[in-house]
Amino acid sequence: MNLPTWITLSRLLGLPFILYLLNNPTQENRWLCVEIFLIAAGTDWLDGYIARKLNQVTELGKFLDPLVDKLLVLAPLLALVQLQQVAAWGVFLILARELAIAGWRVNPNLAGGTSVRGANIWGKLKTVSQIVAISLLIAPLSDAWTIPSLIAFWLCVILTLISGLIYVLPQKNSLATISNSQANNL
């Protein structure tokens, strides 16, 4: 494993602290939780930057990075459901998309080969919108921030679904083309 992969895995170290702090949601704990979450989320940019800069992009890194991102996003969202700050069905939509894409990425029959694709611009927008929404929802802000925080959450749900469709549809069309060409060869 190389340095970018270790940085990716380091994101997991923040999760127990985030979950503990959200389970004891004092104002100080919530601010500390936001700080830990943003530092962990920042390593997502850092590992990618280092991997590209040092030419250390690996299939393992392309697989682990989105998986760790999913854990970093879903854990606090599930805690926010427990705190009744977000609708469970919105988090379920995010969870369903993330599981579907994870399965799509690792299944060679669906993905059209064994190579793992990196994130496109929609995947990156999805990740940024999730980080913003979660940060706003975790932070102990005044009641004036309730509506903007919920708007950010539902925007991230929409971007999550759109990015999933954009990820799957081109590959699905290419699979149909491959299947048709194989049928023609018979």
In this predicted structure, the answer to whether residue 185 has a pLDDT above a threshold of 60 is no
38: number of Cβ within 10 Å: 14
The token duo for 30 is 């919530």
Report pLDDT for 178: 45
CB 23 within 8 Å of CB 79: yes
- By the 8 A CB rule, do 65 and 48 touch? yes
Q: Are 48 and 61 in contact (CB under 8 A)?
A: no
Average pLDDT over residues 59-74: 86
Alpha-carbon span 38 to 152, nearest angstrom: 16
Type of residue numbered 138 = I
Residues 17, 22, 26, CA angle at the centre, nearest 5°? 110
pLDDT of residue 157: 96
> How confident is the model over 144-171, as pLDDT tens digits?
999 999 999 999 999 999 988 888 776 5
To the nearest 10°, the Cα dihedral for 79, 80, 83, 84? -140
Helix ranges, 24-145 (H):
27-53, 59-82, 88-106, 108-111, 121-138
* Eight-state DSSP code of residue 84: T
Task: Decide: 139 and 30 in contact? Cβ < 8 Å.
Answer: yes
Give residue-wise pLDDT tens across range 106-119. Answer: 665 655 544 455 56
Structural domains in the chain? 3-185 (1.20.120.1760)
